[in-house]
Structure 1
Amino acid sequence: MPTSIRRMTTTDLDRAATVLGDAFADYPWTNWCVAADSHQQRVTELQRLYLEHLALPHGLAYIDEEHNGVVAFIPPDLPEPEESLVAKIVELHGDRFEHAAEAEQRLSAMDVPDDAWCLATAGVSRAARGRGLGGDLLKVGLAELDRRNAACWLDTSTHRNLPLYERHNFAVADHVVLDDALEVWRMHRPAI
């Protein structure tokens, strides 16, 4: 039976953040740049902030009907976040915020296609992994970007994600190792 996927609304925020908190609880990127104490709670709250203040009002966000997976894209012309939001993000990163700032500095030097959207987050709860839901979510969101004739880019810090994204026409454009501890691959997908 095909998975039913729809645009997210504000009523989905709590569940979507919980799914992403679960999905990224053991992810190399979040382990590196989000404090260890109350780690999953911090990751969940960060994901909720990004969805609520960036993806929903300015971008595209999708969730499956069973609330097991989420994908969100943000546009290239995203407005600067309010200072209060930035302060909350810094607070949630905790004692690892310097890692996040260092990463931002290094990653900002990497190439991004002109006018490309960013695949900001894609995650499936650990209990629902291995069923193709991540690919289904990507397919729906990328189809909308294709209708807009928009390119897309993403960063991933897990090598095992590369084949998934390659199946959706992303290609590795760059690779960096941060602080001898964290690998990040930047991938681009052309407008189709």
Structure 2
Amino acid sequence: MPDIDVRPARSADLPELARTLALAFHDDPVMSWVVPDPRRRAVALPRMFAAICRHHYLPGGAAEVALSSGRIVAGALWSAPGEWKTSPRQDLRMLPGLLLVLRGDALRGMRANEAVKSAHPAEPHWYLGVIGSDPQVRGGGYGRALLQSRLQRCDREFAPAYLESSNADNVPYYQRFGFAVTGEIRLPAGGPTLWQMWRDPA
């Protein structure tokens, strides 16, 4: 396996990072439920990821990217302990863009967001909000490199980590890194299920 360069995400990475995450999540069950039309989803997801990265994850300083030959092929959007909630100012900045992008699908998006927020654990932790890789390199170890980068820090700081898996197929993958299923979030109006996963420090 080639060496994988993992580094903090920068503002200049935003367009490429958003495109990569959009490719990673195009067939995701939750994203497919929020934006059912695949053609609209292909347009909406890069803009949605750009908005949340620009206004929340990049300012938080905990997002990371994995590169192959200088190209961003995977990304992980983390929030430090106590910083997973978006501030009212961040919500205000993101909302117009998200409403414009999601349009008629915005209500489903807001319902999904509220369901996830209301189930979030209260104990301080590192929160993995998003992780994904370009499908063309999936299986190449880029997700593993991103997870190990942050989880090593969690262990050094003796800090737990938390995520929601939106795909049942990914649950065993996260379990290999020490995460355990602690609950399920069933999205309203017949939406899909997310699996809450918690990892105690090693």
* TM-score normalised by length of structure 1: 0.90
SS at match of 1:5: strand
Fraction of identical pairs, as percent: 22
Q: What's the offset of the Cα at 1:34?
A: 3.0
Q: Tell me the residue number matched to 1:74.
A: 79
SS at match of 1:112: coil
Cα distance change on mapping 1:62 and 1:107 into 2, 3 Å: closer
Q: Is the 8 A contact 2:119 2:185 kept in 1?
A: no
Distance 2:122 2:155 in 1: 15
Per the alignment, residue 16 of structure 1 pairs with 17
The AA in structure 2 aligned to 1:14 is P
Q: Which amino acid aligns with 1:60?
A: A
Is the aligned partner of 1:182 residue 2:182? no
1:137 aligned partner:
146
Deviation at 1:33, TM superposition (A): 1.3
Report SS of the residue matched to 1:103. helix
SS at match of 1:186: strand
Question: Post-superposition shift, 1:130?
Answer: 1.5
- Rounded to whole Å, the distance in 2 between the matches of 1:176 and 1:79 is 20
Distance verdict in 2 for CA 1:20–1:145, change over 3 Å = same
2:63 is paired with a residue whose SS is: strand
Match of 2:106 among 75, 88, 97: 97
| Alpha-carbon distance in structure 2 between the residues aligned to 1:64 and 1:105 | 30
Q: Which moved more, 1:174-183 or 1:8-17?
A: 174-183
Structure 2 CA distance for partners of 1:106 and 1:61, relative to 1, 3 Å: closer
Deviations 1:75-101 (A, max 9, x none): 323451141322212332222222222
Q: Distance in 2 between matches of 1:23 and 1:38?
A: 16
Quote the residue 2:51 is aligned against.
Answer: 49
Tell me the equivalent position of 1:32. Answer: 33
Contact 1:71 1:141 in 2 (8 A): no
Aligned-partner residue type, residue 173 of structure 1: T
Moved over 4 A (4+): none
* Paired position in structure 1 for 2:96: 87
CA shift at 1:187, angstroms? 0.9
In structure 2, do the counterparts of structure 1 residues 144 and 34 end up closer, same or farther at CA, with 3 Å as the change threshold? Answer: farther
Q: Is the 8 A contact 2:8 2:61 kept in 1?
A: no
Cα distance in 2 for partners of 1:53, 1:145 equals: 24
Relative distance call for 1:181 and 1:85 in structure 2 (3 A) is closer
Q: How well do the aligned residues superpose, as a CA RMSD in angstroms?
A: 1.9
Distance 1:8 1:29 in 2: 25
- Counterpart CA distance in 1 for 2:142 and 2:175 is 16
Gaps of 5+ in 2: none
1:58 to 1:133, Cα distance in 2 relative to 1, 3 A: same
Residue 172 (structure 1) shift: 0.6
Tell me what 1:61 maps to.
Answer: 63
